[in-house]
């Protein structure tokens, strides 16, 4: 577990609220993030059912649930959505997710979908409080067909969902990526398999090209900062992945590590 202020000013914070342990979800570690702006918050990928109590405990160090003004789901996976029913009971805010997953989410036992906002394919701006907007950015097929990213213009942090995710061994627990070359072995196999294609990557890169990005905060693994941000984006531009590597018979032209 960790609680790190990735950005802090008098009016604004961007917090890595919690990094779950693999045993809490019977899987890999996942990150949950909180933005606080002038006393109200936005929660990114709040996590599965197993991590919900710890995420709530960490959030209460900053603000109560009724001050959350938006919950953002990068995509539809259970390590993001599994604990959402409890968050819906604790908050009164809208939940933002790609419009294509609105028909899928009720299978998590979510009966009332009235608070869900279907994000259009082109993305949208979301005014959390008057004068402060988050930008929801499409990241289709990376790895989810309807993945979204969220850009915070104050901290200049891009919440990237599964883009940039790392599969770290248990004995490695870095909070940040500073040296991209040493981090590459922990992301290469995942991105080759779970990103759909180089065309999808380049569409995403073109979409974020004009953003000033100081950090990239993924749902799994450490946060990219400094030169690692540009190094990661440059590596992605030429990455062959997904359908680029497929051959007839369901085989792939490379081994995934």
So what's the pLDDT on residue 25? 46
- Res 21: pLDDT: 58
Identify the pLDDT of residue 145. Answer: 94
Domain regions of the chain by residue span: 4-169+211-221
**pLDDT attached to residue 249:** 65
Segments in the chain below pLDDT 70: 1, 19-28, 248-251, 253-257
- The closest alpha carbon to 117, from 153, 150, 70, 161, belongs to 70
> Could you tell me whether strands 95-98 and 116-119 are parallel, antiparallel, or unpaired per DSSP bridges?
parallel
| Angle of CA points 65, 70, 71, to nearest 5° | 85
Q: Is 144 exposed, middle or buried, given 0-12, 13-18 or 19+ CB atoms closer than 10 A?
A: buried
pLDDT at position 49, please?
84
> Structure pTM?
0.93
pLDDT digit string, tens, across residues 43-81 = 999 988 888 889 999 999 999 999 999 999 999 988 888
pLDDT for residue 109: 85
Query: pLDDT value at position 80?
Result: 86
Q: Find out if CATH 3.60.15.10 is the number for domain 4-169+211-221.
A: yes
| pLDDT attached to residue 48 | 85
């Amino acid at each position: 577990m960790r609680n790190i202020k990735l950005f802090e000013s008098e009016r604004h914070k961007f917090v890595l609220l919690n990094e779950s342990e693999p045993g809490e979800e019977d899987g890999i570690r996942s990150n949950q993030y909180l933005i606080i702006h002038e006393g109200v918050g936005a929660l990114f990928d709040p996590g599965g059912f197993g991590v919900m109590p710890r995420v709530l405990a960490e959030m209460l160090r900053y603000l109560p649930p009724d001050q959350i003004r938006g919950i953002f789901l990068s995509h539809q996976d259970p390590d993001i959505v599994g604990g959402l029913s409890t968050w819906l009971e604790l908050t009164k805010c809208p939940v933002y997710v790609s419009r294509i997953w609105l028909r899928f989410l009720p299978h998590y036992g979510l009966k009332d979908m009235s608070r869900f906002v279907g994000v259009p394919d082109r993305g949208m701006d979301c005014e959390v409080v008057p004068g402060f907007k988050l930008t929801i950015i499409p990241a289709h097929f990376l790895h989810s067909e309807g993945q979204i990213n969220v850009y915070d213009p104050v901290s200049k942090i891009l919440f990237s969902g599964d883009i940039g995710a790392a599969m770290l061994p248990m004995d490695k627990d870095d909070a940040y990526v500073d040296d991209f070359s040493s981090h590459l072995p922990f992301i290469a196999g995942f991105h080759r398999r779970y990103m759909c294609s180089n065309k999808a990557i380049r569409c995403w890169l073109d979409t974020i090209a004009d953003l000033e990005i100081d950090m990239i905060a993924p749902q799994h693994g450490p946060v990219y900062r400094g030169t690692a941000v540009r190094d990661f984006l440059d590596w992605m531009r030429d990455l062959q992945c997904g359908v680029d590597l497929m051959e007839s018979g369901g085989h792939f032209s490379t081994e995934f590590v």
